[in-house]
Amino acid sequence: MSSKKPSEIPVNGISTPLSSKHTINRRQFMGATMAAFGGALVSGIPNISYAAKGGNGGGGGNGGGGGGSTSTRNPLFIPPVVSASNAALQAASSTVDVGGGSLSTALAYNGSMPGPTFVASLGDYASINFTNLLDEDTTVHWHGMIAPSYQDGLPFNPVAPGTSRVYEYPIIQRACMNWYHPHPHGHTASQVALGLAGGFLLRDNEELALNLPSGAYEVPLVIRDVELDNSNNIKYSGNSSGFMGSKFMVNGTLQPRLEVDSAIYRFRVLNGCNVRVWRIALSSGAPFTLIGTDGGLLETSTMVGTIEFSPGERLDLLIDFRGLPAGTTIMLQDLNEGWDLLEFAVTRQVNLGDTLPTGTLSTIETLANPVVERNFSFDGMRQINGKTYDMNAIEFQVPMGQTELWRFTTGGNAPHPIHIHGASYQVISRTGGRGNMVFPWERGWKDTVLLQDGETVEVLIRFDGYKGVYVMHCHRLEHEDNGMMLNFEVI
Ligand SMILES: [Cu+2]
Q: Average of pLDDT values for 173-198? A: 98
Q: Ligand 1 centre and the CA of 334: distance in Å?
A: 22
Q: Ligand 1 centre and the CA of 486: distance in Å?
A: 13
Give the start-end residues of each E strand in 141-295: 141-143, 164-170, 176-181, 198-203, 218-228, 234-235, 247-250, 253-254, 256-261, 264-271, 278-282, 288-293
Q: Ligand 1 centre and the CA of 476: distance in Å?
A: 5
Is residue 20 over pLDDT 60? no
Q: Ligand 1 centre and the CA of 362: distance in Å?
A: 32
Q: Ligand 1 centre and the CA of 456: distance in Å?
A: 14
Q: Ligand 1 centre and the CA of 487: distance in Å?
A: 16
Structural contact between residues 308 and 290, judged by C-beta atoms closer than 8 angstroms = no
Is residue 31 over pLDDT 50? no
Q: Ligand 1 centre and the CA of 483: distance in Å?
A: 10
Q: Identify the weakest region by mean pLDDT among 45-49, 167-171, 252-256, 323-327.
A: 45-49
d(CA 64, CA 53): 13
Whole-angstrom CA distances from 374 to 17, 144, 312 are 42, 21, 23
Give me the long-range contacts of 430-437 (CB less than 8 A, separation at least 24): 430/455, 430/456, 430/457, 430/458, 431/455, 431/456, 432/456
Kind and range of the H or E element at 341? strand 339-348
- pLDDT averaged over the chain? 88
Is residue 162 over pLDDT 80? yes
Q: Ligand 1 centre and the CA of 382: distance in Å?
A: 7
Q: Average of pLDDT values for 393-411? A: 98
What burial letters (b/e) apply to 35-63, b meaning 16+ CB within 10 Å? eebeebbbbbebbeeeeeeebeebbbbbb
- The helix/strand/coil state of 122 is coil
Is residue 230 over pLDDT 90? yes
Q: Does the predicted TM-score (pTM) go above 0.85?
A: yes
DSSP 8-state assignment for residue 126: E
- The helix/strand/coil state of 29 is helix
Q: Ligand 1 centre and the CA of 450: distance in Å?
A: 10
Q: Ligand 1 centre and the CA of 132: distance in Å?
A: 28
pLDDT tens digits for range 107-140: 999 999 999 999 999 999 999 999 999 999 999 9
Give the start-end residues of each E strand in 387-437: 397-398, 404-410, 416-420, 425-431
pLDDT tens digits for range 257-272: 999 999 999 999 999 9
Q: Ligand 1 centre and the CA of 154: distance in Å?
A: 18
d(CA 197, CA 185): 16
Pairing relationship of beta strands 278-282 and 307-309 according to DSSP bridges: antiparallel
Q: Is the pLDDT higher at 154 or at 72?
A: 154
Q: Ligand 1 centre and the CA of 100: distance in Å?
A: 36
Q: Ligand 1 centre and the CA of 58: distance in Å?
A: 27
Q: Which of 67, 70, 118, 99 is nearest to 260 (CA)?
A: 67
Is residue 487 over pLDDT 70? yes
Structural contact between residues 189 and 107, judged by C-beta atoms closer than 8 angstroms = no
Please, what are the domains in the chain?
1-360 (2.60.40.420), 372-490 (2.60.40.420)
Q: Which of 90, 77, 78 is nearest to 3 (CA)?
A: 90
Pinpoint the alpha helices (H) of 50-200: 188-193
Q: Ligand 1 centre and the CA of 416: distance in Å?
A: 4
Structural contact between residues 192 and 179, judged by C-beta atoms closer than 8 angstroms = no
Q: Ligand 1 centre and the CA of 386: distance in Å?
A: 13
pLDDT at 215: 96
pLDDT at 100: 86
d(CA 166, CA 346): 43
d(CA 160, CA 279): 38
Is residue 96 over pLDDT 60? yes
Pairing relationship of beta strands 218-228 and 247-250 according to DSSP bridges: antiparallel
List the strands of the sheet with 87-97, edge to edge: 103-109, 87-97, 125-132, 164-170
pLDDT at 15: 53
Structural contact between residues 125 and 145, judged by C-beta atoms closer than 8 angstroms = no
Q: Ligand 1 centre and the CA of 484: distance in Å?
A: 7
Q: Ligand 1 centre and the CA of 480: distance in Å?
A: 7
Give the start-end residues of each E strand in 34-154: 74-75, 81-83, 87-97, 103-109, 115-121, 125-132, 141-143
d(CA 422, CA 229): 38
Q: Ligand 1 centre and the CA of 305: distance in Å?
A: 27
pLDDT at 71: 61
Q: Ligand 1 centre and the CA of 43: distance in Å?
A: 35
- The helix/strand/coil state of 288 is strand
Q: Ligand 1 centre and the CA of 341: distance in Å?
A: 25
- The helix/strand/coil state of 388 is coil
- What would the DSSP string read from start to end of 196-226? --EEEEEE-HHHHTTT-S-BTTEEEEEEEEE
SS (H, E, C) 2-20: CCCCHHHCCCCCECCCCCC
- Hey, what amino acid is at 145? M
SS (H, E, C) 448-466: EEEECCCCEEEEEECCCCC
What burial letters (b/e) apply to 411-445, b meaning 16+ CB within 10 Å? eebbbbbbbbbbbbbbbbebeebeeeebbbbbbbb
Is residue 62 over pLDDT 60? no
Q: Which of 80, 71, 97, 113 is nearest to 343 (CA)?
A: 71
- The helix/strand/coil state of 22 is helix
Q: Average of pLDDT values for 310-323? A: 98
Q: Ligand 1 centre and the CA of 94: distance in Å?
A: 30
Is residue 46 over pLDDT 90? no
Kind and range of the H or E element at 374? strand 372-379
pLDDT at 27: 32
Q: Ligand 1 centre and the CA of 415: distance in Å?
A: 6
Q: Ligand 1 centre and the CA of 311: distance in Å?
A: 11
Contacts of residue 99, Cβ cutoff 8 Å, sequence gap at least 6 = 58, 59, 60, 61, 62, 74, 75, 77, 253, 254, 255, 256
pLDDT at 229: 96
Q: Ligand 1 centre and the CA of 438: distance in Å?
A: 20
